[in-house]
Amino acid sequence: MKLLPRALAVAFIVCMAGLAAPVQAGQAETPAFIFGVISPRSAVITAQYWNPILRYLTRQSGVPLKLKVAKSSPELAAMIQHGELHFIYSNYQFAPGNDGAGYIVIARPLASPSRGQIVVSTNSPYTSLEQLQGREVAFPSKVAFTGFQVPMDALLRAGIHVKPRFAGTIEGALGQMLSGRAAAAGVSAVIANAYAERQNVSYRVLWSSEEYPTVPIAVHPAVPKEKVDAVRTALLSMSERFEGREILTASSPLFGQPTSFGFVAASNAEYEHMHRFYRQRLPLPEGQ
């Protein structure tokens, strides 16, 4: 069920069906807050990465968090648009139509900025974007920011029209490109590099975008402030605690992050760059 507008949110936060178990007077168990995440990697790797972190945050904050990995990126984007998640690790909320839910950025990973890229296999005959004219190019999904929106805008501005193949994830798009089913792939540089190292494969970069902030953690405005503060505090101090560092050290290779990885405070203002992109991007061709 959709989270309610800000004015009514506090009164009804405890009775949201489908997101958390109903709370009755005298009931001992606290309902879980749903933590939805983008999944540009496989669902298995996404769960392996996030579940230990969320269990730690639950213990430290006292706020029970439950992972939600949507079946697809468009499904997660729709859940964000309708305000169906309490906490999110996503940048879909910045897209037009999704920003009305009012998600508030509270933290971001301490990681390198993100870039969109268009890549080809090392033995590909293509050496320039112009050679991709009319070719099939693999992308994760229509809602992927660095994996589709940014590289597709670059292609359109260069007058290059390609045939998109949507693979579901960035790793899937890379797989289609590497197997020869697509001439190139639109990817996030960080995710593509981590995948290549893990799978011992290589590729060439034809084009890279400017830098964008890393995907943030945000919260729906309906979540009570004391819950938000508790989760934020646990996130920001995670790398300073022995147990937290152990979890981060074990999880970081899955996402291609340094072992010194942690979380730092962030705000919506840091993501104005993404809002500006959406305001200035070229319209997609009909059917895309």
Domains of the chain, each with CATH number or no CATH: 6-111+214-278 (3.40.190.10), 116-212 (3.40.190.10)
b/e burial code for range 211-239 (CB count within 10 A of at least 16 → b): ebbbbbbbbbbbbeeebbebbbebbbebb
Q: For the chain, how many helices (H) and strands (E)?
A: 9, 11
Q: Which helix (H) or strand (E) holds 206?
A: strand 203-208
Q: Give CA–CA dist 136/138, Å, rounded.
A: 7
User: Residues 132, 183: contact at Cβ < 8 Å?
Assistant: yes
Confidence (pLDDT) at 187: 98
Confidence (pLDDT) at 203: 98
pTM of the model: 0.85
CA atoms within 13 A on the CB side of 139: 25
User: Residues 56, 251: contact at Cβ < 8 Å?
Assistant: no
Q: For 103, which DSSP code?
A: -
Q: Give CA–CA dist 261/64, Å, rounded.
A: 23
User: Residues 187, 116: contact at Cβ < 8 Å?
Assistant: yes
Confidence (pLDDT) at 261: 76
Confidence (pLDDT) at 17: 38
* pLDDT tens digits in sequence order for the chain, 288 residues long: 445 444 444 343 333 334 443 333 334 467 899 999 998 777 888 899 999 999 999 999 999 999 999 989 999 999 999 999 999 999 999 999 999 999 999 999 988 899 999 999 999 999 999 999 999 999 999 999 999 999 999 999 999 999 999 999 999 999 999 999 999 999 999 999 989 988 999 999 999 999 999 999 999 999 999 999 999 999 999 999 999 999 998 887 777 666 557 999 999 999 999 999 999 999 998 776
